[in-house]
Amino acid sequence: MPIGTFALAMVMTALSVWAIERVEDQRREGQARAAASVVATALDRRAHSYVSYLRAGSLMLGTRKDPTREDFESIAGGLLDDADYHGALGIGWLPVLKPAQIPAFEKRMNTAGQEGYTVHPAPDPASRMVVPVGFIADMNERNRPTLGFDTYSEPKRRAVIDQAIARRQLTASGPVSLIMQTRAGEWQGFLLFMPVYGPGQTDLPRGFISAPFNAGAFLSSIVVLEKIEDLEVRLYDGAMESSRLIARTGAQGASMHPVATQALTLGGRRLLVAVDAPEGGLTRTAWVALMLGTTIALLLAVVARIVSRRAEQDREALLWLREQASIRASLTRELNHRVKNTLANVLSLIALTKRRATGLDEFVEGLQGRIRALSATHDLLTNSEWGPTALRDVVLAEVAPYTRGDDAAVALSGPDVDLAPNDALSLGLALHELATNASKYGSLSVATGRVDVSWAMVGEGVVQVHWQESDGPPVPALRSRGFGTDLIEKIVAHELGHGVQLDFAVTGVRCTLMVPVRAPVAFSIRARQQNGQGKGK
């Protein structure tokens, strides 16, 4: 019961923790979906606002055949002053030239104040066109190396320029390194190319207004502005693949898993915003529920253990009481049986003594002696708790009054044999009659007389007891039959279940008794009682 109680309580605790975590997962999923929608909307709003500026600049630059630096900066200045365009690295003018036009263009740029301006890398004379970086509105040390760089020479930029020419509208690139000299993965971003056409131009544009975006800064500005916390936000170019990852920000970790995505389109290119919720293990509420549930489960198990132990002790006590009651009932029945047997023996002794006695004194003397014999044997049985009683002790109890110290008139010999209580009573009664007769008329009536009592096992479960008198007065051939003879040959023989051989020889009385030796479990009520108590306790 304690184990089952603990297991049931822990199952309920686990279900509670699972339910709490399930609710928390749903909350995180909802938070992620809301964040994905907010980020995608903000990115789309910012990007299209920037696109609007690029389109306006394209229209204004389209009216100038060879725009000067002043023309470009007057158009780009408004865009760069707008604080809503975090992540944009500036805006540039990229003219479209033929390879043969490069020397004149370089000379014009140097004359306009951009000393040392050269187009690089050196183009192939057979190249379709050259698209160098002419002006950059936000000129700094980071952007300066890009002046004169032929964007058409780099495969990714060339692909998006060709696409912009084919579409004749603003086009976004895929993931590119914004600074060519940087290590792979640094300054990752994307470019917007807006073709600028003059009046009547249908082939190649005059040039491009280009805007590079640092994808990480662009995305981070949105996350910070929208206060998106404890979430990882990633920006992909089209598909959600590691090779097409543009930027990522927020709580990054190995335990992230995609929760919500939101797509947007910029410059004809599909971008994908993915928001992940961190799996930081169990929540505080779940931990509290787990610890509280475990504590309650342990307490319930302890209580169940106490209750089950108490119930077990009660069952054991009840069983012991039942066994004790059974033992008392058995003892009562046994005592009743023994009392009845004793009373029956006393009544028989009284009846036989009365018939054989010639006077009151003889009646009283004979009856007292026989009752004392029963009492002596009863004392032996009481000392042995009515269990097995030694045959030697029974003999000694009956002949003890007739022994004389070291010069004993009675000799005993035989192995150690234990008798059942009823058999001991019967044997004691027979020996009393023999000893009484010997003390009155036989060997024990004279100083020189002697009695030998010996016994030996004569078979399985039977011991033979032999009484032999010697050196006493001669036994008369003609003698009346007394009470002792009837007692031994009738009552004792009946109780022992074997015949008695009684011989009144001239040299002394001889008597042979066959006494059964029973196994203790067949007659020992105390043995059963002790076993019952041991089991109950």
pLDDT of residue 187: 60
Q: For residue 7, count other CB atoms closer than 10 A to its CB.
A: 12
Residues 262 and 365 reside in one and the same domain: no
Residues 429 and 349 reside in one and the same domain: yes
pLDDT of residue 246: 84
Helix residue ranges, H only, 264-283: none
pLDDT of residue 467: 92
Residues 332 and 271 reside in one and the same domain: no
Helix residue ranges, H only, 276-359: 284-356
Domain that holds residue 353: 318-529
Residue 19 lies in a domain: yes
Instruction: Using pLDDT thresholds of 50, 70 and 90, give the confidence band for residue 484.
Output: low
31-67 per-position pLDDT tens digit: 888 888 888 888 888 878 778 878 888 888 888 778 8
pLDDT of residue 518: 82
User: Cα(361)–Cα(523) distance, rounded to whole angstroms?
Assistant: 39
**Run of H or E including 55:** helix 2-61
242-297 per-position pLDDT tens digit: 888 888 887 655 444 557 888 988 888 899 988 887 666 677 787 888 888 888 88
Q: Which residues of 392-429 are buried (b: 16+ CB within 10 A; e: fewer)?
A: bbbbbbbbeebbeeeeebbebebeebbbbbbbbbbbbb
Check if the beta carbon of residue 93 is closer than 8 Å to that of residue 154: no
Residues 259 and 353 reside in one and the same domain: no
Residues 108 and 256 reside in one and the same domain: yes
Supply the pTM of this predicted model.
0.50
The token pair that represents 515 in the structure block:
């006494």
CATH number of domain containing 404: 3.30.565.10
pLDDT of residue 413: 92
Residue 207 pairs with which residues in a beta bridge? 95, 196
Q: Is 144 helix (H, G, I), strand (E, B) or coil?
A: helix
pLDDT of residue 456: 94
Instruction: Give me the phi and psi of 523, to 5 degrees please.
Output: -140, -10
Residues 273 and 322 reside in one and the same domain: no
What mean pLDDT comes out for the span 438-456?
87
Instruction: Using pLDDT thresholds of 50, 70 and 90, give the confidence band for residue 4.
Output: confident
Residues 348 and 480 reside in one and the same domain: yes
* pLDDT surpassing 60 at residue 525: no
User: Cα(284)–Cα(288) distance, rounded to whole angstroms?
Assistant: 6
Give whichever of 349-358, 365-374, 460-469 has the largest mean pLDDT: 460-469
* pLDDT surpassing 80 at residue 231: yes
180-221 per-position pLDDT tens digit: 444 444 567 888 999 999 887 778 899 998 888 888 878 888
pLDDT of residue 466: 94
Instruction: Give me the phi and psi of 167, to 5 degrees please.
Output: -85, -20
Residue 265 pairs with which residues in a beta bridge? 270
Residue 339 lies in a domain: yes
pLDDT of residue 79: 55
User: Cα(182)–Cα(204) distance, rounded to whole angstroms?
Assistant: 31
pLDDT of residue 304: 83
CATH number of domain containing 81: 3.30.450.350
Residue 518 lies in a domain: yes
| Total residues belonging to the chain | 537
Ordered DSSP codes for 347-415: HHHHHHHHHH-SSHHHHHHHHHHHHHHHHHHHHHHHHTTTS-EEHHHHHHHHHGGG--TTS-SEEEE--
* pLDDT surpassing 80 at residue 331: no
Residue 202 lies in a domain: yes
Residues 269 and 344 reside in one and the same domain: no
- End residue of a domain, out of 277, 305, 332: 277
Residues 323 and 263 reside in one and the same domain: no
136-176 per-position pLDDT tens digit: 876 566 677 788 899 999 898 999 999 999 988 999 988 88
Q: How many domains does the chain have?
A: 2
Instruction: Give me the phi and psi of 171, to 5 degrees please.
Output: -135, 140
Residues 498 and 363 reside in one and the same domain: yes
Q: Is 190 helix (H, G, I), strand (E, B) or coil?
A: strand
Residues 64 and 157 reside in one and the same domain: yes
- End residue of a domain, out of 219, 247, 277: 277
Residues 460 and 514 reside in one and the same domain: yes
- End residue of a domain, out of 226, 249, 277: 277
The token pair that represents 46 in the structure block:
């910012």
